[in-house]
């Protein structure tokens, strides 16, 4: 996609987003945090084997032993989303300073309005050395600016599933990104509250609505929504998108493409038109007093209090924060109930985020050395499990100790994975979708007007890039 298309994609979100701001973010040599959201999340790491680990070890030897990192110098500007991993990335950067003492990594992170801010930087010619996007559709959105890592050691170290998510659909190959993590997406719940209420984990929408009523009657708060965060909507809606496509006998990718081309209406899909809005209405009814004032931190505080049964739009990335507030939390993790079929309440896994290396970076060799070291050195490989506590996006036999990750893995192994359907749209659309749903919750628009706004955004923002 060319620069003029990037400019077009900003239409409809730029003015509002720039006025709204993007939370706090700062940059320094290896230090940056931001108020705001979480991820967008995350990447799938497929089951690893001893043979894969051995392959990675040989890659490591080639990448690490033969590279003189101390010969590198200069600055690397790293502008990415996912502020929830800021501490872990700062730790990584600090360690790299011991390896390449003459390289300064200026790391900036934010989540609110990240897609808009990135496009503004690119359109002004200020492309960061390392930047992030979702995978899937946005691999090709940013391919023009991204270095193809296919022939780098990092590509050999990548988990095969992650590597496939970094490939260009238009080009039919290449490795145009790398992942911070593997991940699972579902609904975090309090096992003790459900047990006290005599409830099983709800797997149908009717069961969820009934459970919320029971939970409230027992004196608990059923849901904390996080609806102040636009990305909560994209991560909560994937089961609904997947089930809607399945019910219509098509793939989620094909269904989304029809919306992007203006060839479908949300009302054509009852699971989207009825069930999704019913789910949101239920969460508002049994949720926070002011749902649009509850952000990620608010969700975490509410859930860690031990009085909230479910939180939306979250995953493994919140576990460390939750347990630091309340070490006694008994955390559960399940797929979103979206219809009357329990088998559709699947855990979603996939490689939803990519970091890109600017192919025209003035310090390209130093950037490539850094990302190769990250994926192939002893420290870099252990960082995923021992520091970031995520599903490794590399070939390894090490596993995350996260309770949420373990439950996600077990659910996927037992029942299969739902598709990471948020990645069939751009994050510019996903942000607009979240803002449309926020307007619905305020009562500014009714359901039909909200559906019309979503359909228009799909076509206006993503339509130009769909073939």
218 vs 45 pLDDT, higher one: 218
Given a cut of 90, is residue 6 above it in pLDDT? no
pLDDT interval class at 65 (50, 70, 90)? low
- Which pLDDT band holds residue 132 (cuts at 50, 70, 90)? very high
Task: Using alpha carbons, list the distances in angstroms from residue 282 to 185, 226, 232.
Answer: 20, 14, 15
Q: What is the pLDDT of residues 319-356, one digit of tens each?
A: 989 999 999 999 999 999 999 999 999 999 878 889 99
Q: Is residue 413 part of a domain?
A: no
pLDDT at 358 over 80: yes
* Residue 324 and residue 358 in one domain: no
Long-range contacts of range 365-370, CB-CB < 8 Å, 24 or more positions apart?
A: 365/72, 366/72, 366/73, 366/74, 366/76, 366/100, 366/103, 367/76, 367/129, 367/130, 368/147, 368/152, 369/67, 369/69, 369/72, 369/100, 370/76, 370/96, 370/100, 370/103, 370/105
| Per-residue pLDDT reduced to its tens digit, 244-262 | 999 999 999 999 999 999 9
Whether residues 120 and 211 share a domain: the answer is no
- Structural contact between residues 156 and 59, judged by C-beta atoms closer than 8 angstroms: yes
User: What is the C-alpha R_g of the chain?
Assistant: 21
Residue 17 lies in a domain: yes
- Res 29 pLDDT > 50: no
Whether residue 152 is predicted with pLDDT greater than 60 in this model: the reply is yes
223, 162: one domain: no
Verify that 249 and 330 share a domain, yes or no: yes
User: Whole domain around residue 258: which residue ranges?
Assistant: 187-346+426-465
> DSSP class of residue 48?
P
Distance CA 312, CA 310 (A): 7
The answer to whether position 211 is within a domain reads yes
Q: Are strands 331-334 and 187-190 parallel, antiparallel or unpaired?
A: antiparallel
Establish if 455 belongs to a structural domain.
yes
Q: 265 lies in a domain?
A: yes
Query: Residue 275, CB half-sphere, CA atoms under 13 Å: how many?
Result: 28
Read off the pTM.
0.77
| Same-domain pairing of 455 and 377 | no
Report how far residue 149's alpha carbon sits from residue 126's, in angstroms, rounded to the nearest whole number.
21
Contact 209, 280 (CB under 8 A): no
What are the backbone angles phi and psi of residue 102, rounded to the nearest 5°? -95, 5
Indicate the range of 26-30, 104-108, 374-378 predicted with least confidence. 26-30
Check whether residue 435 and residue 368 sit in a common domain.
Answer: no
- Asked whether residue 101 is assigned to any structural domain, the reply reads yes
pLDDT of residue 391: 85
Please give the mean pLDDT across all residues of the chain. Answer: 86
Same domain for 164 and 94: yes
Domain at 212, CATH number: 3.40.190.10
Q: Indicate whether 150 and 208 sit together in one domain.
A: no
Q: Coil, strand or helix: which one is 348?
A: strand
| Residue at 233 is within a domain | yes
Residues 191 and 313 in one domain: yes
For residues 9 and 127, membership in a common domain is answered with yes
Does residue 330 sit in helix, strand or coil?
Answer: coil
> Is 282 in the same domain as 325?
yes
Q: Is the pLDDT assigned to residue 167 strictly greater than 80?
A: yes
Rounded to an integer, the average pLDDT of 35-62 is 35
Residues 88 and 106 both lie in one domain: yes
Question: For residue range 401-451, what is the model confidence (pLDDT) as tens digits?
Answer: 889 999 998 999 999 999 999 989 998 899 999 999 999 999 999 999 999
**Total number of domains in the chain:** 2
Percent of the residues in the chain that have a pLDDT greater than 70, as a whole number: 86
Q: Is the pLDDT of residue 18 over 50?
A: no
In a domain, 55, yes or no: yes
Residue 182: DSSP 8-state: B
Query: What average pLDDT does range 372-400 have in this prediction?
Result: 91
């Amino acid at each position: 996609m060319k620069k003029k298309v990037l400019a077009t994609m900003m239409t409809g979100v730029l003015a509002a987003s720039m006025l709204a701001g993007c939370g706090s973010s700062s940059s320094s040599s290896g230090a940056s945090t931001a108020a705001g959201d979480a991820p967008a999340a995350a990447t799938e790491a497929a089951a690893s084997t001893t043979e894969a680990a051995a392959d990675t070890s040989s890659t490591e030897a080639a990448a690490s032993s033969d590279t003189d990192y101390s010969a590198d110098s200069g600055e690397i500007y790293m502008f990415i989303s996912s502020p929830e991993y800021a501490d872990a990335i700062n730790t990584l950067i600090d360690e790299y300073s011991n390896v390449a003492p003459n390289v300064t990594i200026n790391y900036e992170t934010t989540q609110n309005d990240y897609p808009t801010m990135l496009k503004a930087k690119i359109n002004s010619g200020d492309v960061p050395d390392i930047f992030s996007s979702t995978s899937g559709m946005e691999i090709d959105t940013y391919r023009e600016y991204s270095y193809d890592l296919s022939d780098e050691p990092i590509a050999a170290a990548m988990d095969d599933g992650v590597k496939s998510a970094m490939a260009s659909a238009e080009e039919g190959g290449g490795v145009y990104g790398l992942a911070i993590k593997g991940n699972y997406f579902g609904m975090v719940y309090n096992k003790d509250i459900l047990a006290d209420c005599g409830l099983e984990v709800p797997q149908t929408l009717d069961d969820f609505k009934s459970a919320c009523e029971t939970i409230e009657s027992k004196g608990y708060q059923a849901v904390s929504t996080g609806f102040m965060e636009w990305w909560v909507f994209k991560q909560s809606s994937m089961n609904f998108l997947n089930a809607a496509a399945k019910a219509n006998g098509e793939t989620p990718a094909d269904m989304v493409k029809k919306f992007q081309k203006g060839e479908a209406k949300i009302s054509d899909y009852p699971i989207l038109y009825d069930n999704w809005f019913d789910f949101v209405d239920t969460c508002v009814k049994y949720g926070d007093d002011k749902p649009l004032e509850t952000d990620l931190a608010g969700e975490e505080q509410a859930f860690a209090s031990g009085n909230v049964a479910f939180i939306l739009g979250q995953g493994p990335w919140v576990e460390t924060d939750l347990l630091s507030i309340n070490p006694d939390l008994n955390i559960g993790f399940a797929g979103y109930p979206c219809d009357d079929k329990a088998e559709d309440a699947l855990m979603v896994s996939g490689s939803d985020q990519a970091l890109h290396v600017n192919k025209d970076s003035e310090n390209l060799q130093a950037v490539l050395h850094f990302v190769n070291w990250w994926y192939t050195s002893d420290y870099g490989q252990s960082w995923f499990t021992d520091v970031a506590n995520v599903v490794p996006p590399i070939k390894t036999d090490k596993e995350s100790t996260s309770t949420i990750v373990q439950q996600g893995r077990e659910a996927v192994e037992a029942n299969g994975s739902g598709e990471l359907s948020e990645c069939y749209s751009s994050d510019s659309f996903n942000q607009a979708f979240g803002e449309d749903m926020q307007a619905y919750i305020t009562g500014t628009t009714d359901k039909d007007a909200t559906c019309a706004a979503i359909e228009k955004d799909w076509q206006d923002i993503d339509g130009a890039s769909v073939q």
